[in-house]
Structure 1
Amino acid sequence: MSATSLVPDAEVAAAQARCREAGVASGDVLTQPVEAARASTQAFQAFLNAGGPQMERLEEVVLENATPPLRLRLYHPRGGTAPRPVYLHIHGGGFALGSLDSLDRWKREIADEADMVVVGLDYALAPEHPYPTAIHQVLAALRWLRENGAAHGIDGARLAVGGDSAGGNLALNALLRLRDAGEPLPALGVVIYGMLSARHDTPSHRDRGDGRFGLSTERLEWFWSRYLPDPASREDAGAAPLHAELRGLPRLLLQAAALDPLLDDTVNLGRRLAEAGVPHGMTVYAGVPHGFIGQTALLTKANAARRELVAALRETFPTSN
């Protein structure tokens, strides 16, 4: 799979030009202090979030029993009737960047097209909050949705969870921990170009890790070193779920970008899921880099990936309105 074409789609260059004209770019932790990188990322995402469907309402909830307290945003689409199924999406950013506003337009599009409540969360970031703070917060959010969703128009028994990049790590990690605890599992898991292993010796790192497509191996090393300050924990399946026992998981949808140093993380996860007998589907989107799903205003492939996810959600919850 790592031998796929390394030629970007023409739309990618046009999208990059649009971002340069707007004066926005994703933050770079290698050249900026982390707070400055977070501010740059927020401005970049605000540009990508413009437009998209309106919601019937946005609702914010703070889970005071999480450590630290965790803010959720619930996207309630227009029309239909409650209770609706719910999809919790965990944003990426190397465990160090991103916020509740990450993928805001995309989350509104998913809620509108899948006719379900989509939930984002403002999990605690590294290096201030290294592993395992974020995964404990994700588990708190999933349990809250299952147990308290009814008061917010949510059917907690019809639950899916997913994430992109570092969020894909946290989504897969949450499924593994719920399985091991014997708790009810979400009906669907979604891993989008997941940051699943701290090993950087794969062919996709070799061929795509120099930064020419955006994300680099050097930047990923920075993220991992802040998330896992103890190098020995890099082989811990609780932190790097590609190394975990995968049997007993629910159906998974995997999406990857062909121009991504993390491509082999997804490819290897798909192989291991097949060996474990876990039902799954995997799509590698050609010609696009890491982070492409948030550019639905600019990239045809971003819209194709969104439609694939919506179809999986609708298939999983066929009785939704």
Structure 2
Amino acid sequence: MTYAYDPELAPWIEMFPQTPLTDIELVRQSESDLIADVPVYEPPIPLDVRDLEVPGPQGDPQVPVRVYKPADADGTLPGLLYLHGGGFVLGSVAMFDSHAARIAAEVGAVVVSVEYRLAPEHPFPAGFEDCYAALLWTAAHAAELGIDLKRLGVGGESAGGGLAAAVALVARDRGGPALCFQLLGIPELDDRLDTVSMRAFTDTPLWNRPNAELSWDYYLGAGVRGTEGVSPYAAPARAEDLSGLPRAYVTTCEFDPLRDEGLAYAQRLLQAGVSTELHHYPGTFHGSALVEDADVTQRMIADQLGALRRGLRAALPTSKA
């Protein structure tokens, strides 16, 4: 099919790797090569960055996290548990370092980025439980991290957006830390793969229906996706009750197979009484934000940072001369 991509994005499409998820190791290497070519974010203010290991789920290994904090901060700051993307099988804290650093520097927040376990080596619920364990640790250590517990949120992109939605659900259901905000960027939410966009976009760059099928098969196990009994903590679109969740910011891209599940989830949040802001970006595709110089990407970044400042009630940080 041909798609009306944003003119600033279209020339870049042929440069993106088109490796299917059938060979996980090859795709992981291709992703590493791609990210290595992306300019490194230079924060406008000094950041303190620490790599730690925190207690994992009971009986499981510790969870590596990277903590970002404005170095010259006075008093407590909002906090954000950040969950990277990658279809549950790709990505890492290092690959999404610039995303987390930008939020810490330009929102003025303490960001805890989680190195959760990946499928297929570690299928659901491993990665999800790692993320929730990291949230529990963050809340328990809020004082030493300099986080105001009343301004603690969760967020992520793609699979990380789906994990963020799941963490918000489980925090509500298990009586966990009270979250004030959830950032769901182009979220992967529904294993049933039955939306119009998921059926239509079989050949879009970086993410398409064939990759989505493999992603869920790796995460849930072969033969599980689309069947009865899949946990809403794996596929938050299956949650029957979305009431009582933190306010949300949801983004979708026009030529992304995940588009319609994101739109539907945002609508259901609103119907459940959850204050929700939805931004849909025309001419974009899943991962098109890698083209940082494009006007639409700059809008996406600015919109997200603004939503985080509002959602976390954060003051705009200023650099010190």
Asked if TM exceeds 0.5, the reply is yes
Instruction: Give the C-alpha shift of residue 142 in structure 1.
Output: 0.8
| Offset of residue 233 of structure 1 | 5.9
Distance (whole Å) between structure 2 residues aligned to residue 77 and residue 233 of structure 1: 45
Task: Name the counterpart of 2:51.
Answer: 60
Q: Residue 294 of structure 1: CA displacement?
A: 4.3
- Aligned CA-pair RMSD: 2.1
1:136 maps to: 129
1:62 and 1:27 mapped to 2: Cα distance? Answer: 32
Q: 1:168·1:190 contact (CA, 8 Å) conserved in 2?
A: yes
Distance of 1:49 and 1:144 partners within structure 2: 32
Whole-angstrom distance in 2 between the partners of 1:162 and 1:261: 20
Q: Is the 8 A contact 1:38 1:97 kept in 2?
A: yes
Q: C-alpha distance in 2, partners of 1:52/1:13?
A: 26
State the one-letter code of the partner of 1:288.
T
- Secondary structure of 1:274 counterpart: helix
Structure 2, unmatched stretches of 5+, are none
Deviates more, 1:263-272 or 1:73-82: 73-82
Gaps of 5+ in 1: none
Shift of 1:133: 0.7
Alignment of 1:1-321 (within 5 A): 6-16=3-13, 20=15, 25=17, 28-30=20-22, 33-53=23-43, 55-66=46-57, 67-207=60-200, 209-229=201-221, 231=224, 232=227, 235-244=230-239, 245-296=241-292, 298-318=293-313, 320=315
SS in 1 for 2:141: helix
Q: 1:165 to 1:9 in 2, by over 3 A?
A: same
Using the alignment, how far apart are the partners of 2:66 and 2:134 within structure 1?
Answer: 11
Q: Is the 8 A contact 1:234 1:240 kept in 2?
A: no
> Is the 1:233–1:239 Cα contact (8 Å) retained in structure 2?
no
Assess, with a 3 A threshold, how the Cα gap between structure 1 residues 277 and 304 changes in structure 2: closer, same or farther.
Answer: same
Aligned residue pair count: 308
Identity value in percent? 31
| Structure (1 or 2) with the greater helix fraction | 1
Shift of 1:211: 1.7
How many Å apart are 1:78 and its aligned residue? 4.5
Give the C-alpha shift of residue 117 in structure 1: 1.8
Query: Conserved in 2, the CA contact under 8 Å of 1:63 and 1:70?
Result: yes
Q: Which amino acid aligns with 2:52?
A: V
- SS state of the match for residue 196, structure 1? coil
Query: Are the structure 2 counterparts of residues 290 and 224 from structure 1 closer, same or farther at C-alpha, using a change threshold of 3 Å?
Result: same
Say if 1:192 and 1:255, in contact at 8 Å, map to a contact too: yes
- 8 Å contact 1:146–1:155 — kept in the other structure? no
Seen in structure 2, the aligned counterparts of structure 1 residues 76 and 307 have a Cα distance that, compared at 3 Å, is same
* Partner Cα distance (1:295, 1:123) in 2: 26
Q: Deviations over 1:74-119 (max 9, x none)?
A: 1223533242211121111110000111322222222211111222
Distance in 2 separating the partners of 1:268 and 1:151: 39
